[in-house]
Amino acid sequence: MAAIADILADFEYLEEWDDRYRYVIELGKALPDLPDADKTAENKVRGCASQVWLVTEPGDGPDPALTLRGDSDAHIVRGLVAIVLAIYSGKRASEIARLDALETFRGIGMIEHLSAQRANGLRSMVNRIQAEAASRLQAA
């Protein structure tokens, strides 16, 4: 999986939105497939027009690092999942709870280039991950 710093650098290099969309799709293609066993109702993200699944694997301790895996049945959305995972996966729950991935998407101009449904789905993914991080912190 690409690091978020590399993804942001690539976005700066790509000036045309057609190229940026192709890049997002390529990021999605590089995302490892989520096993069918993980494509459950519990892992499904509500509020996405496409099907999106997120799996959280917490580490140990009162502020665990969260490893995230995800998938989608739509090419562009799968790329958005890859970017969200690059932003959040491997970080501690406390950092995830205060890190707004939507700011990153705004910074690269992606939010205004998404359909309303995709932008809402992206918000649903971010909200789900931040809620999971918050619940892990409360459980500690």
Just list the catalytic residues: 48
CB distance 136 to 66 below 8 Å: yes
Phi, psi values for residue 45, rounded to 5°: -90, 120
Conformation bin of residue 109: beta by default, left when phi > 0, alpha when psi is -120 to 50: left
Closest listed residue to residue 47, CA positions, set 77, 3, 76: 77
Phi, psi values for residue 25, rounded to 5°: -65, -40
Q: Report the alpha-carbon distance of residue 54 to residue 15 in Å, rounded.
A: 30
